[in-house]
Amino acid sequence: MNRDPRVLFAAERTLLAWVRTSLSLMAFGFLIERFGLLLLEFGHGTEGGRLFSFVVGIGFILFGSLLALAASRNHQRVIRQLPEEQKLPDYRGLAGPWTAVAIGLLGLMLAAYLALQLHLPGN
């Protein structure tokens, strides 16, 4: 039987594109969150501005994290629905989805860490 893995590899590329997007969103959120702190430290920001940058930054981080988790789940769903002739024998392809899950969980941990940093005394 002729095995054509093009659809399988297209699903892999799609997963990687979503993972790149989620990483970009999380990095942008971290930048926004830290920029508000930087402005406050240099005396150019206000507490209201710091809170706004915190909320927007955490929002981007959480959105990126959830996007990575959703991409992993969607990828697994697509792979399960592929007909057997489009799957490769001995190809498990678990590295991509598990990497996406790890990135999503690390993003959630980053958001929790930043939230705790905001409420510590002296910050």
Q: Which of 17-21, 72-76, 88-92, 111-115 has the lowest mean pLDDT?
A: 88-92
Q: What is the spatial distance between Cα 49 and Cα 104, in angstroms, rounded to a whole number? A: 27
| pTM for this model (two decimals) | 0.87
For 10, how many CA atoms within 13 A lie in the half-sphere containing its CB? Answer: 7
Average pLDDT over residues 107-113: 97
Please report, for residues 4, 6, 16, 69, the alpha-carbon distance to residue 74 in angstroms, rounded to integers and kept in the order given. Answer: 21, 18, 12, 9
Please report, for residues 11, 12, 19, 61, 117, the alpha-carbon distance to residue 8 in angstroms, rounded to integers and kept in the order given. Answer: 5, 6, 17, 29, 42
pLDDT of residue 1: 47
Residue count of the chain: 123
For residue 123, what pLDDT band results from cuts at 50, 70 and 90? low
85 domain residue, yes or no: yes
Domain holding 90, by residue range, is: 6-119
**Count of C-beta atoms within a 10 Å radius of residue 5:** 15
Selected residue with higher pLDDT from 123 and 39: 39
77 domain residue, yes or no: yes
1 domain residue, yes or no: no
In the chain, how many domains are there? 1
User: What does the block give as tokens for 72?
Assistant: 């992993």
The DSSP secondary structure of 38-73, one letter per residue, reads HHHHTT---HHHHHHHHHHHHHHHHHHHHHHHHHHH
Average pLDDT over residues 18-40: 93
101 domain residue, yes or no: yes
